[in-house]
């Protein structure tokens, strides 16, 4: 997401926030939550600052081994990886002691095959460092520190944010439509506001984590950071994509120079793979709901990760042709069969961008028309 590029600059200028609470009304009573466990796992990029806090004088501040190992962890893994692994444990999100126990004893072989990969190997490569640092954090009283100094800041940010339940309902209706009409897990609406991150990321249990900076209206106005855009984007990551579709994407990468060149640049941002599909779907949903206009759609495709997601405008162009009851995955596979083929990406991309720039006509809002059903 764009916040990954913008928010590190903001953190230096704004008060650090970190905490846990629940709020919300009606259909989404637990929309915002906090997690001492996730905040603890996200602390390593800020280990030096934490060690300098008066609360940790004589403990972490005097432990050079803790800082050396925390720096090593930060150089190898991201907070999103650690939080994702812990989300699979079923452990408490509010108990740092359970975090210590999990990372001291977890067996990578016990993980579902579908989630194994290089990211698990990276975590395992710093397993000893993680075990030491997490244990030291717990011994130094991180749970108390979080309750006294982090949680109040996060609760304050949560309590000041206002969102209409009907707005959330409309968003979830659109996402369910892209799922092919099948209800998604209700936990997808849960958001963990963490004080130790400067971005937002989805978790494997269909929740996601978000910086409190996105809840600040003044910050949102000043830097054009839209929490609801992030909310839609991260919830769209809940949509299932088949192995067949991912194979099609790999074939495209292997055989289309234009796509491969841009995809390599997108991966350098940490935003490659299926991210272009999510970007296109977010613009589509936001446009249907009347949250944005055509110019904002075009601008997003031009600036998101320096315009490297060349599949996004192509997908967006044809999304109005989503059939009733068709899943996003089924639509994309159909689009790959008919339109997104090796050697054709550049021409399809330029055609889609020209249409957006020239006619500024995209999908009408849901209230304006019914979805079209012709083949792409």
270-279 pLDDT, tens digit per residue, is: 788 999 999 9
State whether 217 and 339 are in the same domain. no
Q: Same domain, yes or no, for 46 and 91?
A: yes
pLDDT of residue 262: 96
DSSP 13: T
> Which ranges of 211-344 does DSSP label H, i.e. alpha helix?
217-223, 227-236, 243-255, 257-268, 275-288, 294-303, 311-318, 328-338
Q: Is 374 exposed, middle or buried (0-12, 13-18, 19+ CB in 10 A)?
A: exposed
19 and 139 in one domain?
A: yes
> Does 183 lie in the same domain as 62?
yes
Does some domain include residue 373?
Answer: no
Predicted confidence (pLDDT) per residue in 34-47, tens digit:
999 999 999 999 99
Tell me 206's DSSP state: S
Alpha helices in the chain (DSSP H): 3-11, 36-41, 47-52, 64-76, 79-87, 96-105, 118-125, 127-139, 142-145, 151-160, 165-178, 217-223, 227-236, 243-255, 257-268, 275-288, 294-303, 311-318, 328-338, 345-358
Q: Do residues 223 and 338 both lie within one domain?
A: no
* Of residues 19 and 339, more confidently modeled: 339
Burial class (CB in 10 A: 0-12, 13-18, 19+), 238: middle
Domain holding 350, by residue range, is 240-358
Q: Contact at 8 Å (CB) between 21 and 158?
A: yes
Clarify whether residues 81 and 150 are in a common domain: yes
Q: Are residues 140 and 13 in the same domain?
A: yes
d(CA 373, CA 296): 25
Measure the CA dihedral 149/152/155/157, to 10°: -80
Would residue 323 count as lying in a domain? yes
* Closest C-alpha among 37, 185, 48, 146 to residue 100: 37
The verdict on 211 and 348 lying in the same domain is no
The tens digit of pLDDT for each residue in 164-214 reads 888 888 998 999 999 997 666 554 557 899 998 888 888 877 688 988 988
SS3 (DSSP) at 198? coil
Please check whether residue 367 lies inside any domain of the structure.
no
pLDDT at residue 12 greater than cutoff 50? no
Note whether 249 and 344 are same-domain residues. yes
Domain for residue 365, yes or no?
Answer: no
Average pLDDT over residues 274-293: 94
d(CA 272, CA 267): 4
Q: What does the pLDDT read at residue 106?
A: 87
- The answer to whether residue 211 sits within a structural domain is yes
Q: Given this model, what pLDDT does residue 189 score?
A: 58
The per-residue pLDDT for 19 is: 31
Cα distances (Å, whole numbers) of residue 192 to 163, 181, 278: 16, 26, 20
What's the structural domain count of the chain? 2
Pairing of strands 208-210, 200-202: antiparallel
Nearest to 270 by CA among 38, 80, 39: 80
Q: Could you report the per-residue pLDDT of 101-150, keeping only the tens digit for each? A: 999 998 888 887 877 888 999 999 999 999 999 999 999 999 999 999 99
- Residues of the chain with pLDDT > 70, as a percent, come to 84
**Which band of pLDDT confidence, cut at 50, 70 and 90, is reported for residue 5?**
very low
Mean predicted lDDT score pLDDT of the chain: 84
Same domain, 331 and 220: no
Whether 102 and 145 map to the same domain: the answer is yes
Residue 370 domain-assigned (yes or no): no
CA distance 357 to 288: 18
| pLDDT bracket for residue 314 (50, 70, 90) | very high
Do 106 and 225 have their domain in common?
Answer: yes
pLDDT at 130: 97
Summarised one tens digit per residue, pLDDT across range 227-273 is 888 889 888 988 889 999 999 999 999 999 999 999 999 988 878 89
pLDDT of residue 103: 95
The structure tokens listed for 185 are 């897990």
- Angle, in degrees to the nearest 10, between helices 64-76 and 127-139: 130
pLDDT at 362 over 70: no
Say if 369 falls within a structural domain.
no
- ∠150-155-161 over CA atoms, to 5°? 135
- Structural domain contains residue 165: yes
Any residues with CB less than 8 A from the CB of 235 and at least 6 apart, and which?
171, 172, 175, 188, 189, 208
The structure's pTM equals 0.72
Q: What is the pLDDT of residue 208?
A: 84
């Amino acid at each position: 997401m764009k916040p990954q590029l913008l928010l590190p600059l903001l953190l230096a200028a704004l008060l650090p926030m970190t905490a846990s609470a629940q709020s919300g009304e009606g259909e989404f009573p637990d929309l915002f939550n906090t997690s001492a466990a996730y905040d603890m796992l996200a602390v390593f990029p800020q280990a030096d600052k934490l060690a300098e806090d008066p609360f940790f004088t004589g403990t972490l501040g005097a432990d050079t081994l803790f800082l050396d190992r925390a720096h090593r962890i930060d150089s190898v893994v991201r907070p999103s990886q650690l939080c994702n692994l812990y989300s699979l444990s079923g452990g408490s999100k509010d108990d740092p002691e359970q975090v210590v126990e999990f990372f001291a004893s977890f067996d990578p072989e016990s993980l579902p095959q579908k989630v194994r990969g290089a990211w698990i190997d990276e975590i395992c490569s710093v397993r000893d460092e993680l075990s030491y640092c997490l244990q030291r954090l717990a011994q130094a009283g991180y749970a108390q520190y979080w309750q006294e100094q982090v949680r109040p800041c996060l609760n304050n940010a949560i309590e000041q944010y206002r969102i209409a339940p009907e707005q959330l309902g409309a968003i979830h209706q659109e996402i369910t439509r892209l799922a092919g009409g099948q209800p998604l897990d209700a936990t997808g609406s849960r958001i963990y506001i963490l004080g130790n991150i400067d971005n937002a990321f989805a978790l494997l249990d269909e929740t996601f984590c978000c910086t409190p900076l996105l809840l600040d209206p003044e910050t949102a106005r000043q830097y054009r950071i839209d929490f609801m855009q992030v909310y839609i984007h991260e919830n769209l990551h809940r949509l299932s994509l088949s192995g067949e579709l991912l194979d099609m994407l790999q074939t495209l990468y292997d055989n289309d120079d234009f796509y491969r060149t841009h995809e390599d640049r997108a991966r350098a941002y940490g935003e490659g793979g299926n991210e272009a599909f999510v970007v296109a779907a977010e613009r589509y949903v936001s446009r249907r709901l009347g949250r944005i206009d055509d110019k904002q759609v075009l601008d997003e495709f031009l600036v998101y990760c320096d315009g490297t997601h060349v599949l996004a405008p192509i997908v967006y162009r044809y999304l109005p042709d989503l059939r009733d009851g068709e899943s996003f995955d089924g639509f994309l596979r159909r689009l790959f069969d008919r339109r997104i083929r090796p050697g054709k990406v550049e021409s399809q991309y330029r055609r889609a961008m020209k249409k957006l720039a020239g006619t500024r006509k995209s999908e009408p809002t849901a209230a304006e028309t019914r979805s079209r059903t012709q083949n792409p």
